[in-house]
Amino acid sequence: MATSTTSLNVPSLNPKLSSSLSISSTPQFSVSSLNFRTHGRGTRRFIVLATAGLDAKPTVLVAEKLGAAGLDLLKEFANVDCSYNLSPEELNTKISLCDALIVRSGTKVSREVFESSGGRLKVVGRAGVGIDNVDLAAATEHGCLVVNAPTANTVAAAEHGIALLAAMARNVAQADASVKAGKWLRNKYVGVSLVGKTLAVMGFGKVGTEVARRAKGLGMHVIAHDPYAPADRARAIGVELVTFDEAIATADFISLHMPLTPTTSKMLNDETFGKMKKGVRIVNVARGGVIDEEALVRALDSGIVAQAALDVFRKEPPSPESKLVQHENVIVTPHLGASTVEAQCLVAPVSSLVLPLVNHGSDLRDIMPFHVSLQQVLSELKPYVILAEKLGRLAVQLVTGGSGVKSVKVTYASARAPDDLDTRVLRAMITKGIIEPISSVFVNLVNADFTAKQRGVRITEERIVLDGSPEAPLESIQVQIANVESKFASAISDTGEIRVEGRVKDGVPHLTRVGSFEVDVSLEGSIILCRQVDQPGMIGKVGSILGQENVNVSFMSVGRIAPRKQAVMAIGVDDQPSKQSLQRIGEIPAIEEFVFLKL
Ligand SMILES: NC(=O)c1ccc[n+]([C@@H]2O[C@H](COP(=O)([O-])OP(=O)(O)OC[C@H]3O[C@@H](n4cnc5c(N)ncnc54)[C@H](O)[C@@H]3O)[C@@H](O)[C@H]2O)c1
Ligand SMILES: O=C(O)[C@H](O)COP(=O)(O)O
């Protein structure tokens, strides 16, 4: 019988997996091991799982340079095509001949790539953290798995942030260039000191935390802004969590470490630069898109921003004529945050994940820590899976910064017997909904529980067993987040938690409760929630503001405690209203609070 061999990166996939792999002692599998030398960190051992019965080696396209260890492993078990710097057209052509694709941040894995693959592409391996270059929705639609290495380059990115911070403060790059040009300008390149200065770390996740630790070692006063980070984690290393406005208004240095999401896109813009301390210095090793680059040039020219050090750009590579790149007070590096020998060694084994997923991706049971019938997920549970993710997404967007999401309770109401409904897929999707919008982690069925635990999020589940027909798997799903404040006070239930509840109606997920208010709005597009004093004409007023901007309203529903008392209006919109329209809605006298939520 022909034998092809696959390997599994046990440590980074799921720490529990080693136990589930003990099934591999069946005659179908043989297990051996492979050692990766990781510079300065000893040797890491990866289990290699040989699978009998698969005839052909998979073909893996490596579209960007991968560490030697990962490449060697791939070459042993797959046909490897290393083609770098492909144009989008070349990638689209090649992909139809490939089972897996490995990229870094430089390759755009667009919808066209998945469409061009004709169904052959099973896995995209991202040898690094950020997956904003992969169209995840298209990957899901095409049944393609995406895996990344979320922690492998954390230290490298943090070290690069600190390198840029110090180099910027002491004009290292400019001074180096001038000496090499034959000049000796000791008076021109007088720098500023770091000690005693306030550094605002924006995004207190993996990289942000490591930057904060190092900056404290340099004698800086470190504050951080992260709406979702728990204050106790910050306190533990002597960092104070503050609001966005406080962070930017008090900082001498700002270091950016949030993911690029619709909320963080162009977070630094004309308005926010205007609130900064004059002469602030900015470091960005996160993503270029979090800064409005034209606004940064204006802020540099006006002196609001004294200097900037940038590793990342909205478009990479940036145009060599870019005013920002050429600005004398800006130093730049070509997205080098993860580019250390050590980090590339650590991200390379992502290739060891790709191979088993190619071979077993159609039946995830082989690699999952639990057994779930994908058929069941795709048919019966599908709308509930979507509902679960969207409820998680809504709930986390209702949280105000400062307190951090730590305690999530999910309540399933169902007429099914407890052992007749496996809620683990739903829990994973709620975790995905809660964590993905606020982080660069890609949450899937395999890593959901581990990711939640790693971020200190405790998810508890409760079942309410209903009388009646068990034909539908679930009546409702409720998500509650405890011990947090909400940016929409009406989302807080009578017991003090943020509460959202949803149901599936005619196959479509609906939001049916916010806090103590009953609403009914289908979970498509985006949602505006308004609390108002119940009175005639409110739907018309809001509708006409949105209509003037050609924003299509898909659904409107009002839930009230009693006539003419407080009510919550939920408005489903297909398009994103402008800031001005949202502001006008907020200015309607009867509206007491409102929030815009993206699904
Ligand atoms: N330059 C590089 O080579 C390089 C290397 C590694 C990571 N990165 C990038 O750095 C960023 C951080 O990576 P990470 O691994 O620390 O991710 P992470 O998910 O661990 O941390 C991101 C943090 O940002 C926070 N956040 C989300 N929305 C926010 C907002 N609106 N305001 C403030 N904080 C917000 C999240 O709560 C989270 O704690 C990512 O964009 C990643 O792609 C770049
Ligand atoms: O998201 C990441 O992992 C970093 O931005 C590094 O990207 P790279 O793998 O292209 O260096």
Contact between 541 and 586 under an 8 Å Cβ cutoff? The reply is: no
Residue located via tokens 């309770």: 409
Q: Do β-strands 526-533 and 591-598 pair in parallel, antiparallel, or remain unpaired? A: antiparallel
- Looking at residue 87, its pLDDT comes to 96
Q: Report how far ligand 2's centroid is from the alpha carbon of 104 (Å).
A: 6
- H/E element, 538: helix 538-548
Confidence of residue 562 (pLDDT cuts 50, 70, 90): low
Least confident of 83-87, 265-269, 279-283, 369-373: 369-373
Catalytic position from the list 160, 221, 335, 531: 335
- Both structure tokens of 155: 């230290």
Return the ligand 2 atom nearest residue 127 CA: 9
337 within ligand 2 shell (Cβ under 6 A): yes
Contact between 595 and 528 under an 8 Å Cβ cutoff? The reply is: yes
Return the ligand 2 atom nearest residue 149 CA: 3
Catalytic position from the list 44, 287, 314, 360: 287
Pick the ligand that lies closest to the CA of residue 65. Answer: 2
For residues 498-520, give the mean pLDDT.
93
Flag whether pLDDT at 549 surpasses 70.
Answer: yes
Confidence of residue 115 (pLDDT cuts 50, 70, 90): very high
As to burial, measured by CB atoms within 10 angstroms (0-12 exposed, 13-18 middle, 19+ buried), residue 543 is middle
324-346 per-position pLDDT tens digit: 999 999 999 999 999 999 998 88
Contacting residues for 184 by C-beta, under 8 A, at least 6 apart: none
Question: Atom 10 in ligand 1: which residue has the minimum CA distance?
Answer: 286
Return the ligand 2 atom nearest residue 152 CA: 3
| Higher pLDDT among residues 287 and 144, named by residue | 287
Out of 215-229, 367-381, 397-411, the most confident range is 215-229
| Sheet arrangement for strand 100-103 | 79-82, 59-62, 100-103, 123-126, 145-148
For residue 599, how far is the Cα from the chain centroid? 14
Confidence of residue 564 (pLDDT cuts 50, 70, 90): low
For residues 369-395, give the mean pLDDT.
73
397 within ligand 1 shell (Cβ under 6 A): no
SS3 337: coil
Question: What is the 8-class DSSP label of residue 481?
Answer: E
Contacting residues for 332 by C-beta, under 8 A, at least 6 apart: 309, 310, 311, 318, 325
343 within ligand 1 shell (Cβ under 6 A): no
Question: What is the 8-class DSSP label of residue 586?
Answer: H
| Higher pLDDT among residues 191 and 147, named by residue | 191
Flag whether pLDDT at 485 surpasses 60.
Answer: yes
- Looking at residue 16, its pLDDT comes to 29
Question: Atom 8 in ligand 1: which residue has the minimum CA distance?
Answer: 286
Strands (E) in 304-440, as ranges, are: 305-310, 330-332, 407-414
Flag whether pLDDT at 290 surpasses 90.
Answer: yes
Q: Report how far ligand 1's centroid is from the alpha carbon of 211 (Å).
A: 12
Flag whether pLDDT at 431 surpasses 90.
Answer: yes
Active-site residue, 335 included:
yes
- Both structure tokens of 311: 């590793």
Least confident of 59-68, 182-191, 192-201: 59-68
210 within ligand 1 shell (Cβ under 6 A): no
Flag whether pLDDT at 370 surpasses 60.
Answer: no
Flag whether pLDDT at 583 surpasses 50.
Answer: yes
Which residue type occupies 89? E
Active-site residue, 316 included:
yes
Question: Atom 39 in ligand 1: which residue has the minimum CA distance?
Answer: 205
Ligand 2, pocket-test mutation among 85, 105, 134, 440, most atoms within 8 A of CB: 105
Q: What CA–CA distance (Å, rounded) separates 325 from 188?
A: 20
Residue located via tokens 């071979």: 359
> Considering the chain, what is the average pLDDT of its residues?
84
- Looking at residue 333, its pLDDT comes to 98
For residues 459-481, give the mean pLDDT.
90
